[in-house]
Amino acid sequence: MKYLLLIIFIFAVVKFQIYLSKKECFAYGLILPVLSFSLVMGWHLFLTPVNIEISDDFTTNTIVSEDIEGETVREELQQETPDTIKMEADTDHIQSSFLFTIIGGNAGTVILLIIYWIQRRKRTVHSELKKMQLSEL
């Protein structure tokens, strides 16, 4: 059901982009690509972590099991880590994250721009053909 809704949403966005790109004013066709680009860049700028802190309360070394009476028993395995690990995101990590966002996250923006370019090209060719037909009469 989720995938069906996703397919319907993508189909609707593509149809809407085609509709906007066919409009006489060229700026209408650029609304969705600009919105898509802005959302991806906002996502990257506001949700990229700069500091990551992991406290000793967070462990993945816990075994939860249930005994015969139905009671839950938690067993912790030995950890060889210090109390708190603090990692600073270095500039290489931030730059590579930015590049992955530009390349991967803006794939939809590129598709919308391709649709825009194709529809504007069709519109231009169609208007030129119409002018030629009028000049022949």
Asked whether residue 86 is assigned to any structural domain, the reply reads: no
Asked whether residue 75 is assigned to any structural domain, the reply reads: no
Asked whether residue 116 is assigned to any structural domain, the reply reads: yes
- pLDDT per residue, tens digit, the chain (137 aa), is 889 999 999 999 999 999 999 998 989 999 999 999 999 988 877 876 665 555 555 555 555 566 666 666 566 555 555 544 555 556 677 777 778 878 888 999 999 999 999 999 998 888 888 888 888 77
Q: Domains in the chain: how many in total?
A: 1
Asked whether residue 45 is assigned to any structural domain, the reply reads: yes
Domain that holds residue 34: 2-49+91-136
- Answering whether pTM is above 0.85, one says no
- CA angle (73 as vertex; 71, 77 as ends), nearest 5: 170
Asked whether residue 125 is assigned to any structural domain, the reply reads: yes
